[in-house]
A and B are shown apart, each in its own frame.
Chain A
Amino acid sequence: MLKINNLHVKLEEEDKQILKGLSLEVPAGQVHAIMGPNGSGKSTLSYVLSGRDGYEVTEGEATMDGEDLLEMEPEERAAAGLFLAFQYPVEIPGVGNMTFLRTAVNAQRKARGQEEISSGEFLKAIRAKAAELQIDAEMLKRPVNVGFSGGEKKRNEILQMAMLEPRMCIMDETDSGLDVDAMRLVADGVNALRSPDRSFLVITHYQRLLNHIQPDVVHIMSNGRIVKTGGPDLALQVEDEGYGDLLAEAG
């Protein structure tokens, strides 16, 4: 599904290299986790994959189902099935959650040559999914993320993911800021979406989320690179020992 090969990325405005030869492959149907110290470049990777401005790819490639991601506009990547749950979801005053999400769903459908979803159908779907995530229907009427608590914003990201039904889901620290129950809800939401043709790349600092969302593979990222890849045990090891030994061992 997602293939990243020897990716080098620097900031456009500054002479600062952030990703330094990162390689990673997430096959269809799998859940991969990325853990790594603060500042190692995890969010940068998620932004570069989803097409944010301000970065320059100096070497390497990233493809989704063989298609060059890096050549596409952000909205094209979304229509192709890529989704990023933001580490810091953005507030957009004056734009209703519902309007925004329906526009997004229909724009993606249009880009894929599918018919638009009617407002009745959309409403039914979003109400059901919001209820599963215990998001108050009143919140859906409010402007995008405005006045939402930290945890509500994260749940709203998962709601968007559930409505957009992407094939490649990247989640950047969706668990931070969630209370224990909310984490359970988010994990249930993600697990409900798991399917043989959908993959997940879950960026997290904590093992706890991975108790709920069993990863197939865990990667350790440091200084712009994947330095170690292993099974779910790797996350337990990080939780117990921290990064010190792991990184020293990886050199």
Chain B
Amino acid sequence: MSEAAVQTKDVTPQVSGAPKPVDALQARLDALSLPKGGFTAGARADALARLREMGLPGPRDEYWRYTDPRPFNAPVPQPIPIEAREPDSPLFLDLPRLTLVFVDGAFDAAESDDLSLEGIEIDTLAQADTGADHWAKGLYGVLEASGQNPVKRPFAALNTAAAQDGVLIRVTAKPSRPVHIIHRRAREDADATWHHVIRVEEGAELTLLETGMAGARSNGVIEADLAKGARLHYIAAKRAGHQKLGNAHLFARVAAEAQLKSFALSVNGTLMRHEAFIDITGDDAVAHIAAAVLGDGNVGAFHHDDTVFVTHGAERCESRQVFKKVLKNGAEGVFQGKILVKPGAQKTDGYQISQALLLDERSQFLAKPELEIYADDVQCSHGSTTGALDETALFYLRSRGVPRDRAIVFLVLSFLADALEEIEDEVLRGQINDRLEAWLTRHGNQ
């Protein structure tokens, strides 16, 4: 790939030149109560200024070409009834872990475990933000701000300005248990905004689990900073209500020899946009980011967008993106993924695969894989496939007496297996797999 060609492509303005309706943004802001903030005050003010400058995205913005941002732009979400009872037992129930419960994005101390655990410091944002100083001051809104280049992420800036709560986690060793963030819903019309800051210090290691849904609409940001040799395993599993709107962002900075492994399972939701911005800054670092998505367009609309940007800024680093979507009944899946290799990032090993399994002809998958490479000694590959169920495999299973529906569950699990493989811990992987299997079995394949 020639540099010239790449550069011309890249000067395309990412936020279109058309004037943004300022009042739309104002209306959006007015519907929120913006905290003034303690230690975050400066970051919040800066984020607001950034947001005013970039405005809300429009359907014609390049970065929003496949996903209509308007439901995210609306001042308030449509109310969604609260499900009487989750049909599933909570995930990871039988694992030793430290649980933090958030209700519509706000920390619920009474429902949560005690926050003390050796090797880790946990605060909640709302509480910590009553003070003027905190270790997270140098990170809150900072990784988000640096992730605004080269493409704008207005909802992340909005989040930094408006976040109600979240966790601030600083890991200094290897805590004996994972931390599990559980989201719950309480109000039918809640517009939840949560913001986590995770700092994993040199050589430290954390497994962070996140499950459940907040609000009728949610906007989440995670800023994760991995120091030299640090390890962060992030595993999210979310089954949304069918009308749910969600917008989530992961901003990660990965220093030398550090390892980030992120896996997200998403099931249902009307409109979901997951953005990841991974900045690999130190030599010999590793960043893996994977997702498994199940969408059913029958019950409501289903649209799920994964938009990923991985920057290699150091030598001998490895990145992997593995994205798999199973779509049926007119569900839509989007993947926009980019690997940027900066000058001097030699011996980069970059890999990206996005695949969709379409269970019918009405569903569709749109993928925009991109490589932009400014170093000469690198190995980067990307691939994208869209396919139907493998009829031969389906027949093989049925010929052994496995009923058709059950055989399809097997084939869907088989399709998703590469993404689940990215979960290093076997027990966690097994639980996610079992949950997936239960969902697939219960909801059939029509």
Contacts and interface: CB of A to CB of B under 8 A. Distances in A.
Nearest to B415: A94
Interface string A54-95: 100000000000000000011101110001101001101111
A111 B401 contact: yes
A107 B403 contact: yes
Contacts of B397: 92, 100, 104
B411 A92 contact: yes
Contacts of A12: none
B398 A74 contact: yes
Nearest to A50: B399
A160 B400 contact: yes
A78 B404 CA distance: 12
A189 B407 CA distance: 27
Given A73-B404, A107-B403, A164-B401, A94 B416 contact: yes
A179 to B, nearest CB: 24
A164 B416 contact: no
Contacts of A103: 402, 406, 410
A143 B418 CA distance: 12
Contacts, number: 80
Residue in B399, B404, B415, B417 whose Cβ sees the most chain A Cβ within 10 Å = B399
A100 B401 contact: no
Interface in A34-49: none
Interface string B410-431: 1101111110100000000000
A86 to B, nearest CB: 7
Contacts of B116: none
Contacts of A93: 414, 417-418
B411 to A, nearest CB: 7
B406 A52 contact: no
B401 A92 contact: no
Contact of A92 (B391, B414, B416): B414
Interface string B261-275: 000000000000000
Contacts of B406: 103, 107
B391 A75 contact: no
Contacts of B407: 75
A53 B410 contact: no
Interface in A168-211: none
Q: Chain A interface: which size bin?
A: 20 to 34
Contacts of B417: 93-95, 143
Contacts of B420: 94
Contact of A104 (B395, B402, B404, B418): B402
A164 B400 contact: yes
Nearest to A52: B395
B392 interface: yes
Nearest to B392: A90
B410 to A, nearest CB: 5
A53 B400 contact: no
A17 B373 CA distance: 54
B239 to A, nearest CB: 21
B396 interface: yes
Interface in A128-165: 143, 160, 164
Contacts of A54: 391
A63 B418 CA distance: 42
A107 B401 contact: yes
23 contacts: A51-B395, A53-B391, A53-B395, A54-B391, A75-B407, A77-B399, A83-B399, A92-B396, A92-B414, A93-B417, A93-B418, A94-B414, A94-B417, A94-B420, A95-B417, A104-B397, A104-B401, A107-B402, A107-B403, A108-B401, A143-B417, A164-B400, A164-B401
Interface of A: 50-54, 73-75, 77-79, 83-84, 86, 89-90, 92-95, 100-101, 103-105, 107-108, 111, 143, 160, 164
Leading 5 A-B pairs by shortest Cβ distance: A94-B417, A78-B401, A108-B401, A104-B400, A74-B398
Interface of B: 391-393, 395-404, 406-407, 410-411, 413-418, 420
